[in-house]
Structure 1
């Protein structure tokens, strides 16, 4: 049986309060959200200089980075297993969306194989993340 000494209780309480002090203020959250959106707009503007599928790939990469950053911000704002999984899912989805766009550069069976492989990798990642 464990004995809880006053020193241990104080240490546990201090750790609890220290963890909560890391939460973002409303202003910090808003500023971070604005920075994420500005970064996305700047990346998307760079994509507009490209043509064809290269532009589509660039846009998917920009969207993926934005979505990952948003998920990470939510995890930073409110750390939890649910939000940690959301970050991992955002990463998996971004990887999948970019891979799908890259497959469009291929034709015929090579394109089909590429899409199947991208989907299989995504499905495996989702299953691993949800299984945690």
Structure 2
């Protein structure tokens, strides 16, 4: 009995260390991506310092957008949730809007107004798509949960035809298969 307990503890410790290693690996990758984004931003920003006027504004907006893209995607990968991915897409849409708006800065009159409206339209569309995709993923998860529950009920119903140890084994197998 003590050998079984010792083996269970060793297995549990091994599994726990594997989970922590994977989590630690994700954390290291996230931190590295953030540092890389910061370094790339500083380099791009220094290149923008030699430019003046609206091209400088565009250059800075593009540098900031590149940093946001990298950081947002890294954060979404690190958290690995639908909400994190949606948030990343919204942040990227905001950054892209800032770039488009900066590009409109060199225009005048109606051309500038149209350009800004188009940039805003692109942002609204990107955010709406991110929200819609989130709802689709959530709906698919809910549908899959309902499907698994229905299949589990069918498996339990099949077990009702059995009796004794056979029924117990059937129920245990169904619970195991469907994670109940």
**TM band (smaller chain):** 0.7 to 0.9
Following the alignment from structure 2 to structure 1, what is the Cα–Cα distance between the partners of residues 75 and 114? 35
Per mean C-alpha deviation after superposition, the further-off stretch among 84-93 and 33-42 is 84-93
Q: Which runs of 5+ in 1 are unaligned?
A: 1-16
Following the alignment from structure 2 to structure 1, what is the Cα–Cα distance between the partners of residues 63 and 109? 27
More helix by share: 2
Q: Which runs of 5+ in 2 are unaligned?
A: 1-17, 134-180
Q: How many residues align?
A: 115
1:79-98 CA deviation, whole Å, 9 max, x = no partner? Answer: 11111112222222222111
Match of 1:89 in 2: 90
TM-score (norm 2): 0.58
Contact 2:61/2:99, CA 8 A, preserved across alignment: yes
- Secondary structure of 1:24's counterpart equals helix
Match of 1:100 in 2: 101
Following the alignment from structure 1 to structure 2, what is the Cα–Cα distance between the partners of residues 103 and 23? 43
* RMSD between superposed Cα atoms in Å: 2.1
Larger Rg: 2
Following the alignment from structure 1 to structure 2, what is the Cα–Cα distance between the partners of residues 23 and 85? 24
Contact 1:24/1:77, CA 8 A, preserved across alignment: no
